[in-house]
Structure 1
Amino acid sequence: MNTKRSTLIGTAIAVALFQQAAPSLAQTATPAAEGVVEEIIVTGIRASIQQSLEVKRDADARLEVVTAEEVGKLPAHNVADALRGLPGVNISSSSADEGGFDEADRVSLRGTSPSLTQTLINGHSVGSADWFVLSQGNNVGRSVSYSLLPSELVSSVEVNKSSHAKLQEGGTTGTVNIRTRKPLQFSDSLTVEASVGSVYSDQADQYDPQLSGLFNYKNDDGTFGVLLQVFKQERSLRRDAQEIPGGFARITGRNADGTLSEVGINNPDLVGVYAPGLVGSTLFEQVRDRTGGLLEVQFRPSDNLTLGLSGFLSDMDANNYNRNFMLWGGSFVNIQSPQPGYTVENGVLTNATYAGVAGRNYAVYDMIYREATAKSNYITFDADWQITDSLRSKVMVGTTEGKGTTDRQFIAEVTTNAGGGASWTTHGIGSPLDWNIGGNSTPAGVTSFGTWGNQQVIATDQEDWINLDFSQDLDAGPLTSLDFGARFADHERETQSPEGATPGDIWSDLQNGETAAYPSDFGSTIGGSFPRDLWYFTPAALKEAILANSTWLSDNDGPTGRHNYGGEWKVTEQNLAAYVQANFAGDAWSGNFGLRYVNVDQEINSYQAVASAANADVSSLFGNWIYQDTKNEHNKVLPSANLKFNMSEDVVFRFAASQTMTMPDYSALGASSWGSDLNKTGGGGNPNLKPVLSTNFDGNIEWYFMPRGLVSVGAFAMDLKDYVAFGTETRMLYSELTNQLEEYLVSVPVNSNGQVTGLELVYEQPIGEWFGFNANYTYADGKTSHTWADGSHNLLGTSKDTYNVGAYFENEMFGARVNYSYRTDFLIGLSGANPYYQDDFGTLSVALSYKPTEWLNISVDALNLNDPTLTYYQSAFIPSSFYSNGRQYYLNVRAKF
């Protein structure tokens, strides 16, 4: 990676634009003639900020808003990145164990996990999909993958921090509602826009195209309109890392048969001490190719009826190749004594050297190439009918589906470096481990070959729904209107692993296949001393050898079929809801009170491994299985109340109280037990989990001291009953290595209780006519009654401190915006049997724009300018991984005709 060159490119562009802006600045700043009133027209960034604050101010509930112009001007290229700077909003880049990336993918609110935040589009659900195989099968939440949602589609995004009865249930801590553009909202009868650009990823050293277009037509009468938006966006990723899969584990000092080993006899001081099971030099490369569009049609046959039809599709190809050359501590630390001079600190074997033992493998090397896709789509029909002067109804019917697939996994797992010995030195979470392995690290040093996961994975997320909403205006003193309605939804989330290939003699072909080398600058930005001069089989060589020497089977149910029942499960939910909400208003106050009744029928299907085929319902090459079916019913009346009081012309006080309910993650309910043969850990579901019921309180004071100016102070509290945490238990699972059931330490979701209390501070102020500044800070204190394996009571996803600082400049021709976002460390979940965390990190982004004419706009966005290293850890003394993704630079030329 040429870091200096990439930084200079961004700096040069910024300086050039600023130099061009200077004369315009000087001219515009000339004082108006005495006695002349100068009209100031606010557009662009300033207009969007003002509009967002006006919507926030007028709302009865706690609301944050990002408008379309603001999305266009923010350094953001999906909706999650656009929300990063809002108070109380946290973003993360992954949903399972795929590690940290450079693009925001999940959104959460107020120190909680993304699964407790609901995402809607135009007020309805959207089927989500993931490209990563574990997110498709073993770790499936209720959050939406924002990598499928480009910011170009957005008219506005509303973040509801307080609930009200007519808002769809499912967001314990809040709801994000993405609103798309509608054709009859456009001022002109014909609008055509096109955007052509490129993104440069400096670590991948690759330029990729970014294309989008918009066509909107509405007739002169404003009774018919059609909008079409399309996008084609490609991006190359390269991620350098040191990974420690499964974390550190305690040294047992025993052989595989349970007898005392050399370590147990000669080094009893090491028994119970933590040591790495695997430490890897990890290179990940991927191309994300996102294609899709949005079609909106509106027809107004009469003044009191508007009909709408909407269709959306986002299809992302996400083929990826992960190479992980690993010191294999699990093969020797329990049975071989380190050489004298080793050190133990804080219960961790921090420095150790192992002499080579003939025939013993000290390294294992995984090369995993996956062909993966993720798709999301919906079709909706809606009718907005003003039945009478005081009664209005809106009907919406729709269907949505998300589908994530891993069609094939081309995997080589080889053992190598036999007899070479190994060594390592840890540095806590400050920097990666220094480690080394003796012996032969070339293809000639391979001692054994294996392949696993040669299996198809198909994950679908589908929902059909109908919403019926009514609003009746009233003139009954402070009671101004009554909202009431109902909703029915049929939702199904399913993961299948229907077929696969039986491997043959792959190694005979592969060992002579084409190889390539790690990049010469691999790992240069994360530090540490570990193997970097490494080889790997090219994706083509790996794919060709496996295809040529594997038999793809279609006999899914037979005893010789590769139907992986342990990777299959389904959760079906039928949701019926009804609500009534009374809206009130007085001279200086307004608010609402409502009740929402929710009834959810669940059916959960999965499989459990058994030892004997005689006791099994189904069998395959992955063992014997019995079918499990669990049915649950949950119903609850959820009250909510919101109060807004205008303390003065510019000061608003708000208070909100509500109960909200969220179902547990789909995989937490349904996932069949799965395990890793390398470290004998795994995970599984619990179909008896109860939904999370949260009692929420929120108070806020907002001072709108000038246009685009705001100071606000707020506090919130959430009491989470039946919060979902994770414990561990021993389960008998099928081992592909031994073809029998073995003991695995499995992470299992359990109900617990949790609490979150916090504080939000916001300050926004324009400086003169063209400049402005914004800052916000969120404090969240989350804890659970559940005790994790490390003795903590942390809540999943809770960063104690989050803040955003930004500034902007804009005149008629030039615009610039800079933003820095930071969050402290937070608990992610379990890696194997160990809780693991993401360390604190911050990201710096810059957006520049130049508008030489009314119809042309040129923009440059620079993301992750500080090139943060994303660090994960098991404890302060035990790291889990270090990731570097580099910087991204987007250049776009947008024309409006």
Structure 2
Amino acid sequence: MRVRQTCARIPFSGLHLRGALLATAALPLALIASPASAQMAEETRQAQAEPGTGTLETPASDQAAGPDEGEIVVTGIRQTIQTSIARKREETAIVDALSSDEIGDLPALSVGEAIQTITGATTHREKGGATEIAIRGLGPFLSNATFNGREATNGSGDRSVNFNQFPSELINGITIYKTQQANLVEGGVAGTIELETLRPLDFDRRRIQGEIKFNYSPYQDRIVGENGLGWRGTVSYVDQFSVGGLGEIGISLGFQRNDTNNPEETVAGSSTWTACDATIVVADDNCEAITREQGAAGAPYFLVPNSIAWRQITENDRRDAFFGAVQWQPSDRLDINIDLQYSDRTYSEQRNDLNLSEMRYGLTNPVFDENGVLSHVEGLTSIEAVSTLLTRAEEYLGGGFDISWEASDRLTLVADLSYSRTRRSEIERSTRLRSDPLDIYGNPTPLNNQRVPYVYDIGEGFAPTITIDPRFDITNHDLFSDDARIRRDQADRNNEIIAGRIDAIYDLDGGFLSQIDIGARISRLTYDDFDDRVEITQGDRAVDREVNLACRREFQQSSFLTEAPGNSINSWATFDPICLFEGYLGTEDPGRNEDVRSVANRDVEERTIAGYVMGTYESQIGSTPIRGNFGVRVVNTRVTSRGLRSGLEIVNNPDGSISLEETGAFETVTIESESTRILPSLNAIFELQPNVLLRLAGYRAMSRPNPSALGAGRSIDLEDGGEFSSIEDAISQITANGSPRLKPLMSWNADASLEWYPNPDSILAGAVYYKSFTGGFIPVLIDEQFVIDGETITVPVAQTMNSDERSRIWGFELSVSNRFSWLPAPLDSLGVRLSYNYADSNFQNEDIRYGDVFDPETGEISEGFLAPANVSGFSRHVLSAQAYYERGPFSFQAVYNYRSNYYQEFVGGNSQLRYVRGNDTVDLRASVDLTQNVSLRFEAVNLFDEPKITDMPVRGSVRQYHYYGPRYFLGVRLRI
């Protein structure tokens, strides 16, 4: 055994070179612009008096033909930035926004990519695109997302909206409320993300628009039989009609078809890691795992996954989306609006995996650092060719009916009914062929052994170099000859929210209070899921030979993972999964089990009743105007979670080990929980100068646990094959798939923001914030009873509960936007927008296997040996930098986004720690107006092919890396 003290090789956590260059180039320009902007402040004061109108006074060099001489109508990127600045200035709470008066002008391919250009917001990347959102470096579970003021569902089991479901071409506004106010739907500890579609009467003009974009993915072009091409088409129609005595009616319709691909190349370790005892060498078995107590006592260890796999993917992705609204104003006192959003997304992945399935077997010569991170090890493993066809269908349906009635000159009543539903169904058909001492013809293989020697080594790059004994040719189909396994998995997720609210707004005549808002809301959220598995194994070598020969195919990709430094495997033997299913089973799909009941299923219902009162005030302190609001929101939540308990029976395996199997008999267990939370809030705006605002806010906020984290079921995590030496070994793997008694995470918050608006194109703002938490989460062991072969056994089950520990988060954010209109032409058309957020936190999330564990009966904490993670999604640094140039018919924009490393929990919780390394991306967008109605548009995403790298269960221990490649889009838009 060799132990070498090394440092984990983690990429430089600061700004990458290209981002640093962009930020360094842009910042001095912004600073130079400040004096000139100050000189322009008085000239633009009149324009600022009516922000958001889309017009402004301009120098002669910037004038163009328009409705009035000296006045232009601002469009494109500049108009979007102006509208966003005006929206921020007008709001009472501390907000940042991305808003456009036009349809399809949000400068991004998806809503997620649009949001990550907003100050303090960043995204998690999946399939190369932006998905879940973190605000101010805080994870998505600390945020709340609404669609037209209503909660939205998703198919992942958490409360984070999958923003890829919604086409940015049909969204007009994105607002992030970073402070709470009483009339918001609960808000969140980090904030509220509000997506908005337009109201057709408010749009006040007819618009017919069509756009088609063709995309090219170089990585997809590497796939055999693919050309890397895809497309997306969007059409929208907005109009208004006068219907005489019936008033005014507006209609808005939008549809998009997105038929594209999301190429991905990856190497991934398992989701469970083991701490192996470094003092014991086990040459012919799995390594000896240390316990939590041994690790805490200082026992040397190194961390290994149960398996590791190279994955080649061929994917097709299609989405149909429809957005519609009808707005009717029978009179100037009555406004009725009905809106609908629908998205139907289907995609399929054909996966070819080369799986090293026994990474814990026969480990020798480990080299590791003080954190247990391996840099070298030698071992033996079975090698598997796994072929999979995954199909997923996800359908979103949402909408609502709202009515606003001015009952009198002072009283307005607003009622809203809403519905949101997401259904996701995923079917995975997978086959496995494994290495063996004999090939498919019964001849001895060169190694004459099922297990193949390999060497694992981390070089200078992040990607480990794994060298497989060359006597085993991984491209030879003959060598994958044993242990055929045919597996069908189906996972269904259903999330539904039905809600209603009523609000009364009463305007007061003079005095300190100018308005009082009173409202109530009731909602019912349901979440249920099931995971079903049909698994068949067979050992007839003649059948294996026949199917193997019939279902071979060449490796489906060229240049696989050639960009990953250190990767040494670029192809292997692959098979057609559907052919294998037909060969072994005589059918492409055997279907699911008749009975899909399982202890792992979740059935959660959450009922919420909330009420609020809020006062809006205007006053003056000396000569300084002050305005704002204060109020309180009371939220009562009742959770009912139903789970199943199954009896277990012992199965004696031929090798003397045992397995556990469910008996098929179930008992329903119902767990209920209730909480009431009071959320006061105060917002104040001081107008220090006509264009300088100071905002102060204090409030209490809550973030609910994910619906999937409230399950009452139990999951039995067995190693591959389910082989154990004793009942105690097997039963120790039972963990809760949720904790219904979890309460919302609460925080007290204080924010301050100083904002300068020198002209409609510019803003310089800085904010500081502090959040104090109670009720974090900590693993606990709770004794539960299970019936095994008629005998009741008490087992400690790992769960999660609220902690009494106090945590805090503090940080600051800076944002600057400026257009250099004072420079001589053509530089006067250049603009920049920069934002940066820094956050610091002492929040702790413990590893479920090797972190601290709390015993609720004794009140004692059993210390673990792995350092805890921070808040899920917490990044210390978040930076967005944009440079744009618009002149005449031409528009160009470059967007840089950087996010430092963060912990990302698995959906449902109760799992080991997973970290995403810091990463940066660069996107480009350009357009040219060919005519007044036709424009040509180009976009490039992930221009420099930035990979996503994850570590587990400590930083520096590589679990997975993904390469997505850049994507290019070229399109034409027709606007009438």
- Answer yes or no: same fold by TM over 0.5: yes
Shift of 1:459: 0.9
CA contact (8 A) 1:429 1:873 kept: no
Q: Unpaired segments of 5 or more residues in structure 2? A: 1-58, 222-227, 438-448, 651-659, 723-732, 822-827, 852-865
When residues 660 and 805 of structure 1 are mapped into structure 2, their CA distance, relative to the original with a 3 A threshold, is same
CA distance in 2, matches of 1:547, 1:892: 46
Shift of 1:313: 0.6
Q: 1:794 aligns with which of 863, 867, 870?
A: 870
When residues 282 and 395 of structure 1 are mapped into structure 2, their CA distance, relative to the original with a 3 A threshold, is same
Q: Does 1:889 align with 2:968?
A: yes
1:11-160 to 2 correspondences below 5 Å: 38-68=70-100, 72=104, 75-93=107-125, 100-129=126-155, 135=156, 140-160=157-177
Shift of 1:873: 1.1
CA distance in 2, matches of 1:762, 1:777: 6
1:847-862 to 2 correspondences below 5 Å: 847-862=925-940
1:556-571 to 2 correspondences below 5 Å: 556-557=594-595, 563-571=596-604
Name 2:440's counterpart in structure 1: none
Name 1:602's counterpart in structure 2: 639
When residues 747 and 854 of structure 1 are mapped into structure 2, their CA distance, relative to the original with a 3 A threshold, is farther
Q: Which AA in structure 2 matches 1:470? A: A
Name 1:20's counterpart in structure 2: none
Deviations 1:529-551 (A, max 9, x none): 33222122234424544662588
The alignment partner of 2:195 has SS state of strand
CA distance in 2, matches of 1:363, 1:75: 47
Deviations 1:434-456 (A, max 9, x none): 11223243332124335465233
Shift of 1:797: 1.2
1:334-413 to 2 correspondences below 5 Å: 336=362, 338=364, 343-346=367-370, 347-354=372-379, 361-406=381-426, 408-413=427-432
CA distance in 2, matches of 1:309, 1:263: 62
CA contact (8 A) 1:778 1:802 kept: yes
Name 1:17's counterpart in structure 2: none
Q: 1:513 aligns with which of 551, 555, 562?
A: 551
1:781-860 to 2 correspondences below 5 Å: 781-788=840-847, 789=851, 790-829=866-905, 834-860=912-938
CA contact (8 A) 2:167 2:321 kept: no
Q: Does 1:525 align with 2:563?
A: yes
When residues 727 and 528 of structure 1 are mapped into structure 2, their CA distance, relative to the original with a 3 A threshold, is farther
CA distance in 2, matches of 1:76, 1:862: 10
Aligned length: 825
When residues 32 and 153 of structure 1 are mapped into structure 2, their CA distance, relative to the original with a 3 A threshold, is closer
CA contact (8 A) 1:71 1:82 kept: no
When residues 405 and 182 of structure 1 are mapped into structure 2, their CA distance, relative to the original with a 3 A threshold, is same
User: TM-score, with normalisation over the residues of structure 2?
Assistant: 0.78
Name 1:201's counterpart in structure 2: 217
Question: Which deviates more from structure 2 when the two are superposed, residues 825-834 or residues 877-886?
Answer: 825-834
CA contact (8 A) 1:393 1:468 kept: yes
CA contact (8 A) 2:127 2:263 kept: no
Root mean square deviation of aligned Cα: 3.6
Q: Which AA in structure 1 matches 2:562? A: S
When residues 285 and 812 of structure 1 are mapped into structure 2, their CA distance, relative to the original with a 3 A threshold, is same
When residues 577 and 349 of structure 1 are mapped into structure 2, their CA distance, relative to the original with a 3 A threshold, is closer
Q: Percent identity?
A: 21
CA distance in 2, matches of 1:252, 1:405: 41
The alignment partner of 1:647 has SS state of strand
CA contact (8 A) 1:273 1:348 kept: yes
Q: Which AA in structure 2 matches 1:795? A: V
Q: 2:346 aligns with which of 297, 317, 331?
A: 317
Name 2:333's counterpart in structure 1: 304
Deviations 1:378-424 (A, max 9, x none): 13111111111111111111222101101x32111332265363223
Q: Does 1:666 align with 2:670?
A: no
CA distance in 2, matches of 1:452, 1:254: 39
CA contact (8 A) 2:605 2:641 kept: yes
CA contact (8 A) 1:816 1:847 kept: yes
CA distance in 2, matches of 1:49, 1:191: 21
1:266-285 to 2 correspondences below 5 Å: 272-285=301-314
1:580-591 to 2 correspondences below 5 Å: 580-587=613-620, 588-591=625-628
Shift of 1:118: 1.1
Q: Which AA in structure 1 matches 2:235? A: G
Shift of 1:657: 1.0
Name 2:38's counterpart in structure 1: none
Q: Does 1:168 align with 2:190?
A: no
Deviations 1:516-575 (A, max 9, x none): 304120001112133222122234424544662588478734xxxxx2413311110111
Shift of 1:728: 8.1
CA distance in 2, matches of 1:149, 1:220: 31
1:417-496 to 2 correspondences below 5 Å: 419=449, 421-427=452-458, 430-438=461-469, 439-441=472-474, 442-451=476-485, 454-496=488-530
Q: 1:878 aligns with which of 957, 961, 972?
A: 957
Q: Which AA in structure 2 matches 1:184? A: L
CA distance in 1, matches of 2:795, 2:905: 18
Q: 1:695 aligns with which of 713, 725, 748?
A: 748
Q: 1:749 aligns with which of 784, 800, 822?
A: 800
The alignment partner of 1:541 has SS state of helix
Shift of 1:294: 1.0
CA contact (8 A) 1:327 1:437 kept: no
The alignment partner of 1:217 has SS state of strand
Name 2:319's counterpart in structure 1: 290
CA contact (8 A) 2:86 2:760 kept: no
Shift of 1:272: 3.0
CA distance in 2, matches of 1:582, 1:801: 36
User: TM-score, with normalisation over the residues of structure 1?
Assistant: 0.85
When residues 78 and 71 of structure 1 are mapped into structure 2, their CA distance, relative to the original with a 3 A threshold, is farther
Shift of 1:365: 3.7
Shift of 1:181: 1.5
Shift of 1:608: 3.3
1:717-732 to 2 correspondences below 5 Å: 717-724=770-777
CA distance in 1, matches of 2:267, 2:613: 54
Q: Does 1:760 align with 2:813?
A: yes
Shift of 1:495: 0.5
CA distance in 2, matches of 1:349, 1:653: 51
Shift of 1:84: 0.5
Q: 1:232 aligns with which of 241, 254, 257?
A: 257
Shift of 1:576: 0.8
CA contact (8 A) 1:424 1:433 kept: no
CA contact (8 A) 1:501 1:553 kept: no
CA distance in 1, matches of 2:482, 2:910: 25
When residues 375 and 620 of structure 1 are mapped into structure 2, their CA distance, relative to the original with a 3 A threshold, is farther
The alignment partner of 1:46 has SS state of helix
CA contact (8 A) 2:869 2:903 kept: no
CA distance in 2, matches of 1:663, 1:832: 16
Q: Which AA in structure 1 matches 2:814? A: L
CA distance in 1, matches of 2:974, 2:938: 15
Name 1:654's counterpart in structure 2: 695
Name 1:24's counterpart in structure 2: none
CA distance in 2, matches of 1:455, 1:261: 30
CA contact (8 A) 1:254 1:264 kept: no
Question: Which deviates more from structure 2 when the two are superposed, residues 492-501 or residues 505-514?
Answer: 505-514
When residues 589 and 859 of structure 1 are mapped into structure 2, their CA distance, relative to the original with a 3 A threshold, is same
Shift of 1:117: 1.2
Shift of 1:208: 0.7
CA distance in 1, matches of 2:328, 2:106: 33
Shift of 1:70: 8.6
Q: 1:184 aligns with which of 165, 181, 201?
A: 201
Q: Which AA in structure 1 matches 2:332? A: D
Shift of 1:76: 1.8
The alignment partner of 1:184 has SS state of helix
When residues 198 and 675 of structure 1 are mapped into structure 2, their CA distance, relative to the original with a 3 A threshold, is farther
Q: Which AA in structure 1 matches 2:681? A: S
